Chains A and B, each alone.
Chain A
Amino acid sequence: MVRRIVFTSGKGGVGKTTIVSSLGVVLARKGYKVLLVDMDFGLNNLDVVMGVENKIVYDIIDVIEEKCVAKQALIQDFFENNLFVLPSTRGYCKRKFGSQELIKIISEVEIGFDFVLIDCPAGIDGGFRRAVECAGEHIVVTTPHISAIRDADKIVNCLIGNLGVSPKVVINRIRGDLVVGDRMLGVDDISEFLGGEVIGAVPEDDSVALQLYFGGHIEKCSSVDDSLNMVADNLINGTGKLFDCTKKYKGFVGGIRRKIRGRV
């Protein structure tokens, strides 16, 4: 049965789109058929992150306006045959639409897929509600920064209070050197504060920024790839294992690494 999972955060810039795209790639590499849906209408970037912006003929708004059928708007990834994107390129639509219209579209195209990963817009207004109502599972993405955790807390409370769901949490862009040096909140601190089950800890990695600049997918065997593989395993099997972002900054050699990174 297909699993519809929405990735939300409240705050913008925490890496929702990056996590959705990279996790999609990881799941596809594991052999699952994955559909990525961009519900960030008007501020869409999933197509750019996936490098398919030049392949778009129709988007999800065209489907709502009945200019095409839903399957015509799907774009196959360049590298992974079982990874598809349902993009959104426009922020305006001639018709009023809500979550029911979007659920209908997703229901049409999701047949045969194992995962539907939905990229939710930032904020807590109509776009957020539409996206979270389309999914059966909810993941809150945050970074270890105070503003992001505060917004994630609001989103967690909103999801529990209004939808009666208990969201899971992915913590992105963790600086292991700062956590070891007690200068950044760690996974345990954030987990305790938010109260949700943490299913992923993703380290800050320059290779992600380069991937976003030049296109392409995350490097295999990089720390981000390893951490996202653990997120995928958590989603599939509920292993409960998290990537240890602090591991390489512990001990004597780790201390040298911390000092070097602190100076750079």
Chain B
Amino acid sequence: MNIVSCKDRLSKMSIMDKKEVPQRVNKILKAELLYVLKNFFDISSEDICLEISVDKNRRYVLDVHMTSKNIKSIRSFAEV
């Protein structure tokens, strides 16, 4: 076993550790995003899907998938 494989092992362990994002973070983040996005789209909680992952450089990546039938009108933006 050489030092390169040791670095790889360490990096993989770190990615595994970081992947364990608490369920609560997902829930709160989803609620916060919903609060913001509701100003722009006609959506409910079921229309947003979040996924937090970790890339090979050990950075968090947030994927947000949202679907909505309607976008709010320009006039309502001004009111906001």
Contact = CB atoms under 8 A, between A and B. Distances in A.
A binds B: yes
Interface in A168-187: 182-185
A123 to B, nearest CB: 15
A182 B17 contact: no
A149 interface: yes
Given A150-B17, A153-B17, A154-B17, A193 B2 contact: no
A53 interface: no
Contact of A182 (B2, B14, B18): B2
Q: How large is the interface on B (under 10, 10 to 19, 20 to 34, 35 or more residues)?
A: 10 to 19
B62 interface: no
A153 B15 CA distance: 11
B28 interface: no
A205 interface: no
B14 A189 contact: no
Interface residues of A, number: 12
A112 to B, nearest CB: 42
A146 interface: yes
Contacts, number: 27
A183 B3 CA distance: 6
A184 to B, nearest CB: 8
Nearest to A149: B10
A146 B12 CA distance: 12
A185 B14 contact: no
Contact of A153 (B2, B7, B14): B14
B21 to A, nearest CB: 11
A193 B10 contact: yes
Nearest to B11: A193
A153 B11 CA distance: 10
B6 interface: yes
Nearest to B18: A157
B3 A182 contact: yes
B38 interface: no
Contacts of A150: 10, 13-14, 17
Interface in A122-177: 146, 149-150, 153-154, 157
Contacts of A184: 3
Interface of B: 2-3, 6-7, 9-11, 13-14, 17-18
6 contacts: A146-B10, A146-B13, A149-B10, A182-B3, A189-B7, A193-B14
